[in-house]
A and B are shown apart, each in its own frame.
Chain A
Amino acid sequence: MSAQSVNTTTAGRVRAMPADLQGDLSNRARVERAMQSFALEYGSLTAFRLESCIHCGICADACHYYIATEDPQYTPILKVEPFKQAYKRESGPYAVFFKLFGLKRRVSADELENWQHLLYDSCNMCGRCSLICPMGINISELIEQTRHAMFDAGLAPAELYAKAKHQQHSGQPEASKEPYRDMLLAIGRQYKVEIPMDKDQAEVMLCVPRTDIEHYPKSVAALARVMQHLGVSCTFRSDGLVAENYGYYAGGREWQRKISMRLINEALACHAKTLIVPECGHAYTALRWEAAELYGKPLPFRVRHVTEYLAGQLQTGRLKLRKAGNGAVTFHDPCQLVRKGGVMDAPRQLMQALGLDLHELENNKAFSFCCGGGGGVLDIQRAAPLRYRAMESKLREVDDSGAQTFLTSCSDCRATFDDAKAHFNWEQTPHSLLELVADNLG
């Protein structure tokens, strides 16, 4: 089901975009649900962020959607405008004043529908805007909160909604020919590596991106091979295999919690001390930084990205690596790992141990541009043309680096670059850092 409408808001005209709708709600009910949901997340932090904006517009200059299109509707803070408007009108300190003088209009259902394009199709939740804001507003967190409200109002993109729904129910974002457990074991046979599965007790619990299961099986084998090389007691668990969390993408808090709880429960069941997040950026955010909040208490185990874990093993001397070649390499920093997760040095420590000649991209580490696929955008089909425009500068940066090998440590980023390779006939091929580590174990 889709709707198309045009309306004017206090923030200006927003281009009409088709919106996906879930449920059979009246417009009024949809708006009420969105506002109630947003109100649930109001807290001092959110209020500070909403109150602080001075409309300086600088955030636009950090966003690759704006930089690529020069279209002001892609200004990051504008993407939360209906909610800023609703907060000021309904529950800010001067709500009465704003209502009395009509300074903030009531948010309409049409407005929310039109904002779906801005909140989902044209935002990777990459957080680059949050580093530029002179007021220090974390805009990407506001976007995440508004996605929650959109989801609760039945206004999530169809692809993200369907995958989140499937995953919260079955553990997999979509149906597969065989259960992922069997596919994993088959990968082990194919690459001649033991896949530890369903052990009752293990020091480390592993999980995998379903992108790797379906598109990059060598990465799955690489994870198992490296762990086997380290001699660490580890296991995958059939009921908690998938690292991704489509509830996070779609904005469904309860579904995000259910999906995270599968992994938490499995880690508890095998008494794991560490849960290793594979090469998947948003899984890291969902598990490392958000799972405890949804669990309601601190997690009784550590959550580490695989590059963090391996860099730690390098430091203790348990992991030794061979030199991996002489050519120049470049590295794409996944936003969720670096800018939103703090995993910046670990991949570089591994690359150094591999003796790689790293040519940094023009915008690297915290200032790296998103691949364009983050925030679930890769899954939203209608967003593809805009995504290709936004990622062109990133592809140029990779070309300009002069590197022969292009590495990253997130399978969704890798899939996005592979998609761009096909679309643009791009010459570079994204490779997994983990695979390179597994190929060069000392």
Chain B
Amino acid sequence: MELLEFARGPALKVALVVFCFGVLWRLVGTVLLRYHRHLSEPRDGYFKAFMLGLLVGGSRSWPHKQYIKRTGYGEALGYAYHIGLFIVILFFAPHVLFIKSLFGVSWPTLPSGIVTIIAVLTFTLLLAVLFRRLAHRVLRRLSNFDDYFSWFVTTLVIVTGLMATAHFGARYETLLAWHILSFDLLLIWYPFGKLMHAFYIFPSRIINGYFLARKGAPS
């Protein structure tokens, strides 16, 4: 079996199974734990608290202005590479074709030159993110294997993708196989590490927002 066949055949299938079951297991393992009832009298009723909680799901995407002077750079960096990743993943024609082959849905794409430029920028931003994690005293102290490995698998997909696009370093089929294998690796790691934040971010914000709103506290 050719490497490319393996990458987009059995390896991808295994990776997708691990991803789906892994994500489900972690979410279920979190949701199905005990829930303590809150018995104190809510300030303005449950419905208002719930609606405000939903609002926090979105509003926490933008930092309160009181904090922005200290956090603006890190947050801008975070936003920038996330946006870059989204564009590259969702608007590169071969990716859309790949998604269509899996799920049968497709959408308009961006010219490959533009996507390539964005991918290079995203890679540069990811390097900046790593540098910042190593250089910033708080980030360095907090960081563990998960932080670095999650960065590695994300960056690897971008790097192999750029190599495949540029036909750099090996035959195109081999480069494409590496790219798909790196994506398989990302899918397999996904449920175990911090990449799962994509699934946790909104429930976590909404829950916190609800409990603050229940007290009438600002959120």
Give residues in A with beta carbon < 8 Å to B.
10-12, 42-49, 51-58, 60-62, 66-67, 70, 72-73, 75, 77-78, 92-94, 97, 103, 130-138, 288-293, 295-299, 302-303, 338-344, 363, 365-367
If A66-B138, A344-B218, A366-B218 are given as contacts, then 4 extra A-B residue pairs at C-beta distance below 8 Å, sorted by A number, are A61-B71, A94-B25, A136-B201, A293-B39
A51 / chain B contacts, CB cutoff of 8 Å: 26, 30, 196, 200
Which of A57, A92, A135, A295 has the most B CB atoms < 10 Å from its CB? Answer: A57
**Are A134's CB and B63's CB within 8 A?**
yes
A298 / chain B contacts, CB cutoff of 8 Å: 39-41
Per a CB cutoff under 8 Å, which of B29, B136, B203 touches A92?
B29
**Are A365's CB and B218's CB within 8 A?**
yes
Closest Cβ of chain A to B63, distance in Å, is: 7
Whether A292 touches B39, Cβ cut-off 8 Å, given contacts A51-B200, A136-B56, A137-B208, is yes
Whether A340 touches B75, Cβ cut-off 8 Å, given contacts A43-B36, A75-B138, is no
CB-CB nearest in chain B for A102: B145
Per a CB cutoff under 8 Å, which of A47, A58, A61, A293 touches B36?
A293
C-alpha spacing A54/B38, complex, angstroms: 27
Per a CB cutoff under 8 Å, which of A44, A339, A365 touches B33?
A44
Chain B contributes a number of interface residues (CB within 8 A of A) equal to 62
**Are B26's CB and A363's CB within 8 A?**
no
B35 / chain A contacts, CB cutoff of 8 Å: 43-45
Q: Is B67 an interface residue (CB 8 A)?
A: yes
Whether A340 touches B39, Cβ cut-off 8 Å, given contacts A93-B25, A132-B63, A135-B205, is no
C-alpha spacing A57/B215, complex, angstroms: 27
B64 / chain A contacts, CB cutoff of 8 Å: 131-132, 367
Closest Cβ of chain B to A11, distance in Å, is: 6
Closest Cβ of chain A to B19, distance in Å, is: 14
**Are B141's CB and A12's CB within 8 A?**
yes
C-alpha spacing A49/B204, complex, angstroms: 7
Per a CB cutoff under 8 Å, which of A73, A133, A338 touches B218?
A338
**Are B141's CB and A342's CB within 8 A?**
no
Q: Is B217 an interface residue (CB 8 A)?
A: yes
A343 / chain B contacts, CB cutoff of 8 Å: 216
**Are A57's CB and B139's CB within 8 A?**
yes
Closest Cβ of chain B to A399, distance in Å, is: 19
C-alpha spacing A12/B31, complex, angstroms: 30
**Are A342's CB and B216's CB within 8 A?**
yes
Q: Is B165 an interface residue (CB 8 A)?
A: no
B139 / chain A contacts, CB cutoff of 8 Å: 55-57
C-alpha spacing A62/B69, complex, angstroms: 11
Closest Cβ of chain B to A376, distance in Å, is: 21
**Are A339's CB and B218's CB within 8 A?**
yes
**Are A132's CB and B75's CB within 8 A?**
no
Q: Scan residues 162-206 of chain B and give those whose CB is less than 8 A from a CB of chain A.
A: 191-192, 194, 196-197, 200-201, 203-206
A11 / chain B contacts, CB cutoff of 8 Å: 141-142, 144
Which of B61, B140, B191, B215 has the most A CB atoms < 10 Å from its CB? Answer: B215
Question: What DSSP secondary structure best describes chain B's contact surface?
Answer: helix
CB-CB nearest in chain B for A289: B40
**Are A299's CB and B41's CB within 8 A?**
yes
B70 / chain A contacts, CB cutoff of 8 Å: 61, 67
C-alpha spacing A72/B203, complex, angstroms: 28
CB-CB nearest in chain B for A61: B70
**Are B75's CB and A58's CB within 8 A?**
yes
Closest Cβ of chain A to B169, distance in Å, is: 31
C-alpha spacing A291/B38, complex, angstroms: 10
A-B contact pairs, 26 of them (CB 8 A): A42-B33, A43-B33, A46-B33, A47-B33, A55-B142, A55-B144, A56-B78, A61-B67, A62-B67, A72-B138, A78-B142, A94-B191, A130-B212, A132-B71, A134-B61, A134-B63, A134-B75, A136-B56, A136-B204, A136-B206, A137-B204, A295-B39, A299-B40, A299-B41, A340-B215, A344-B218
**Are B194's CB and A293's CB within 8 A?**
no
CB-CB nearest in chain B for A85: B144
B112 / chain A contacts, CB cutoff of 8 Å: none
Per a CB cutoff under 8 Å, which of B31, B140, B204, B205 touches A72?
B140
A52 / chain B contacts, CB cutoff of 8 Å: 197, 200-201, 204
Per a CB cutoff under 8 Å, which of B32, B141, B201 touches A44?
B32
CB-CB nearest in chain B for A58: B71
Q: Is B50 an interface residue (CB 8 A)?
A: no
Which of A44, A60, A132, A136 has the most B CB atoms < 10 Å from its CB? Answer: A136
B61 / chain A contacts, CB cutoff of 8 Å: 134
Q: Is B207 an interface residue (CB 8 A)?
A: yes
B38 / chain A contacts, CB cutoff of 8 Å: 293
A-B pairs, top 9 by smallest CB distance, nearest first, are: A93-B29, A342-B216, A136-B205, A366-B218, A292-B39, A57-B138, A61-B70, A136-B208, A72-B141
C-alpha spacing A195/B36, complex, angstroms: 40
C-alpha spacing A171/B30, complex, angstroms: 39
CB-CB nearest in chain A for B53: A136
B101 / chain A contacts, CB cutoff of 8 Å: none
Closest Cβ of chain A to B41, distance in Å, is: 7
C-alpha spacing A14/B188, complex, angstroms: 33
A366 / chain B contacts, CB cutoff of 8 Å: 217-218
Closest Cβ of chain B to A384, distance in Å, is: 25
Closest Cβ of chain A to B91, distance in Å, is: 25
B207 / chain A contacts, CB cutoff of 8 Å: 45, 48, 136
Interface flags for B43-79 (1: CB within 8 Å of A; 0: not) read 1000000000000110011011011001100110010
**Are B39's CB and A55's CB within 8 A?**
no
Q: Is B143 an interface residue (CB 8 A)?
A: yes
C-alpha spacing A10/B144, complex, angstroms: 6
CB-CB nearest in chain B for A73: B141
C-alpha spacing A366/B56, complex, angstroms: 15
A341 / chain B contacts, CB cutoff of 8 Å: 215-217
Closest Cβ of chain B to A348, distance in Å, is: 14
Closest Cβ of chain B to A221, distance in Å, is: 30
